[in-house]
Amino acid sequence: MEKGQFIIQPVMDWLSLPAVAALPLMIGMLTGIYGGIAAMVVLPLTTEQMTLVAIFLLMAHNLIQEGVIQGKSGINPAKATVFRLICATLTVMVVAAFLDINPSAPAGPAAAQVIRQPFSLMLWKWAVASSKLCLKIFFIIMTILITLEVFKRIGWIEHVVRLCRPVLKGLGLSEKTGILWMTAALFGLAYGAAVIVEEANAGHLGKEELEALHLSIGINHSLIEDPALFLALGLSAFWLWIPRLITAVIAVRLLSFCHLLLRKGLPAEQ
């Protein structure tokens, strides 16, 4: 354990977090928000430390599954994952400067107590929760697909996109990405996977538009459900929504600037 902490702590110092915080970060990156929270609440972390963990996980969770989804809908999955990890790390480093990080004052919700349960009961609860999740995903996807098809038939797509135009402009995205952005913002990458893949593969968007979209929604998706999970732990709504929104805007603007330089051709002396 001490050897592991010796290796992990220098890395975690960049994030202003103790070595034990690596556990929820790793679990969240490999699985999702739920797994990260389950690991986080049993650790002696301060409210500020939990806030930093929450910000990181909101931007970089479920990387394998969501990377595959992004890979099937217009962007290299490795590039998408690296983007998210870099943005999450930089955002946490910046936010940490505004928080009073005090490692000597562990805190946490009452839910942080470990409750021992029979294995059979835990297995049954897992099966029930998984079944509910599968049904939830199925109905969400079917509802979105049916709604989109109805909107297409009656010609409402253009009106919906027009309403989103100011938001998309502020995010630095093309208005043609409106439906995909809304799907990711409301339902996340995993729940909205079928819609995102289908619409992205329809050929209506260019490579740069898709790349900008995926960078934005990779950082800033599931704007309702995921932050709400952390609100239940008593964390500040401001830190759960605003930092990753700002990061998404900055990241897309920088990407657009890089594309502009590549198109014009950067002079050798620069």
Residues 209-235: pLDDT tens digits?
Answer: 889 999 999 999 988 888 888 988 889
Q: What is the pLDDT of residue 248?
A: 95
Residue 180 vs residue 151, higher pLDDT: 180
End-to-end Cα distance, the chain: 49
Q: What is the pLDDT of residue 6?
A: 62
For 44-111, the DSSP string reads: -B-HHHHHHHHHHHHHS-SHHHHHHHHHTTTS-HHHHHHHHHHHHHHHHHHHHTTS---TTS-B--GG
Cβ–Cβ under 8 Å, residues 180 and 196: yes
**Is the pTM here over 0.95, yes or no?**
no
Average pLDDT of the chain, as a whole number = 82
Q: What is the pLDDT of residue 141?
A: 63
115 pLDDT higher than 50: no
Other residues' Cβ atoms within 10 Å of the Cβ of residue 22: 20
Q: What is the pLDDT of residue 197?
A: 84
CA dist 49 and 75 (Å) reads: 32
CA dist 118 and 132 (Å) reads: 21
Mean pLDDT of 6-24: 88
Q: Which band of pLDDT confidence, cut at 50, 70 and 90, is reported for residue 112? A: very low
Percent of residues, the chain, with pLDDT higher than 90: 35
Q: What is the pLDDT of residue 5?
A: 61
Angle at the Cα of 74 from the Cα atoms of 69 and 80, rounded to 5 degrees: 65
Other residues' Cβ atoms within 10 Å of the Cβ of residue 145: 13
CA dist 23 and 20 (Å) reads: 6
Q: Which band of pLDDT confidence, cut at 50, 70 and 90, is reported for residue 188? A: confident
Which among 237, 241, 247, 138 has a CA at the least distance from the CA of 190? 138
Q: What is the pLDDT of residue 114?
A: 41
Least reliable range by pLDDT among 78-92, 126-140, 156-170: 126-140
Classify 45 as helix, strand or coil.
strand
> With DSSP H G I counted as helix, E B as strand and the rest as coil, what are the percentages for the chain, rounded to 5?
75, 0, 25
Mean pLDDT of 17-32: 93
Q: What is the pLDDT of residue 165?
A: 81
Mean pLDDT of 132-146: 70
Q: Which band of pLDDT confidence, cut at 50, 70 and 90, is reported for residue 113? A: very low
